[in-house]
Amino acid sequence: MRFVRGVLSLVLWVISIPVLLVALARVLPFDHVVPLPQLAAFTPWATIAALPLLIVALFSRRWVLTSLLGVSFAGFLYWMAPFFLPPDTSTAADPADAGTVRVMTVNALYGQADAETVVRLVGSQNVEVLSVQELTPDFAQALTDAGLDDLLPHSFTVPAEDTPAGSGLWSTTELREVEQQRGSTFAMPSALVDVGGTDVRVTVVHPYPPMPAETTTWHTELAELAERVHSDTTTPQILAGDFNATYDHASFRDLLGSRFLDASREWGAGPAVTWPEGSQVPALLALDHVVVEKDMPVSDVVSMEVSGTDHRALVATVVVE
């Protein structure tokens, strides 16, 4: 009997250790060391796993493990609860209002996304600003052929052939003072967009992914982007794209700082998981975001399937004024 209890205890510890490691990765104020970014991304799923493990540990009187899982589960609840708390007013803003802008972002997977689906979503979702990552020349042309220019006639594109480095920005209104993030591996163009008489700088975001050998590059590019957007203290900003990071990454929260908010978290409908899509594995991670100023209410934040790519599109209504 003692042997059986020992084996069960060992199994329980082995199953619990990944959950405890995710909690540790989430609580640390940095994430540029492997495997911290890889672990922190699974915080929502570790939250789900922690509860039954805590119950089993409690009833089997594994007091040390119970304590560790209890603290971890309390932390998970604290971190995840805001994603399910709707704002004071959860009424969807009207995208037709002059002071609102409907923003959509999609990663086109080396330009393999279905252009007609993207254009159809732009039309059906009343999208006024579109951010595209992994834009190739062929995909840019496919979007034009599918009628995107009729819906969003103004654009600033930096396509790239056979690499994920290309990006593009489309808008219903003129794009002014176009810029591009310097030093980033992938193009991150930005421009001023008129929203009801207010100039808003919209930036397409796509840092290098946190691959084990490139975690420092990922962290550095997010930090440089944060420095750039926070240095402009006068212009309202919206950031939209594949951040290759979830809210549970310290690098992403550092980018937000006290100035910006993640639209999905503010809307309170749960994390908008966007990757990986279109495979046997369902979308697990919320890597795509619309980031807004903290005084910009958001509504109707939804993710939508786009055939041909491994990311779901993310759409949000942002109230500028």
Q: What's the alpha-carbon Rg for the chain, to the nearest Å?
A: 21
Pair 134, 33 in one domain: no
Q: What is the pLDDT of residue 90?
A: 55
204 close to 237: Cβ distance less than 8 angstroms: no
The whole-model pTM stands at 0.95
Pair 189, 145 in one domain: yes
Pair 189, 271 in one domain: yes
Tell me the mean pLDDT in the region 147-160: 98
Among 26, 52, 84, the domain boundary falls at 84
Question: To which H or E segment does residue 193 belong?
Answer: strand 189-195
Q: What is the pLDDT of residue 207?
A: 98
How many other C-beta atoms can be found within 10 angstroms of the C-beta atom of residue 198? 15
Residue count of the chain, please give it: 321
Residue 257 placed within a domain:
yes
Residue 93 placed within a domain:
no
Pair 126, 247 in one domain: yes
Pair 295, 149 in one domain: yes
Res. 6 pLDDT band, cuts 50 70 90 = confident
Residue 193, domain extent:
100-319
Q: What is the pLDDT of residue 91?
A: 63
Please list, residue by residue across 209-239, b when 16 or more beta carbons sit within 10 angstroms of its beta carbon and e when fewer do. bbeeeebebbbbbbebbbebbbeeeeebbbb
310 close to 260: Cβ distance less than 8 angstroms: no
92 close to 300: Cβ distance less than 8 angstroms: yes
Res. 4 pLDDT band, cuts 50 70 90 = low
Q: What is the pLDDT of residue 94?
A: 74
Share of the chain above pLDDT 90, in %: 89
Pair 208, 174 in one domain: yes
Per-residue pLDDT tens for 10-59?
889 999 999 999 999 999 999 999 999 999 999 999 999 999 999 999 99
Among 58, 84, 110, the domain boundary falls at 84
Tell me the mean pLDDT in the region 120-137: 98
Match 């599918």 to its residue by tokens. Answer: 146
Residue 48 placed within a domain:
yes
DSSP string over 99-151 = TEEEEEEEE-TTTTS-HHHHHHHHHHTT-SEEEEES--HHHHHHHHHTTHHHH
Residue 98 predicted with pLDDT over 90: no
Res. 7 pLDDT band, cuts 50 70 90 = confident
- At 55, list the tokens: 């119950």
Crossing angle of the two packed helices 2-27 and 63-80, in degrees rounded to 10: 30
Pair 139, 13 in one domain: no
Among 18, 52, 84, the domain boundary falls at 84
Tally the domains of the chain: 2
Pair 167, 227 in one domain: yes
Whether omega for the bond prior to residue 271 falls within 30 degrees of 0, making it cis, is no
Tell me the mean pLDDT in the region 182-201: 96
CA pair distance 304, 121, nearest whole angstrom: 9
274 close to 305: Cβ distance less than 8 angstroms: no
Pair 119, 210 in one domain: yes
Pair 239, 315 in one domain: yes
Per-residue pLDDT tens for 154-179?
999 999 998 999 999 999 999 999 99
Q: For the chain, what is the mean pLDDT? A: 95
Share of the chain above pLDDT 70, in %: 98
Contacts of 249 (CB under 8 A, 6+ apart): 31, 37, 40, 41
Residue 138 placed within a domain:
yes
Pair 171, 139 in one domain: yes
- At 301, list the tokens: 């934040």
Tell me the mean pLDDT in the region 177-190: 94
What CATH number is given to the structural domain containing 280? Answer: 3.60.10.10
Match 């009207």 to its residue by tokens. Answer: 94
121 close to 104: Cβ distance less than 8 angstroms: yes
Tell me the residue type at 208.
Y
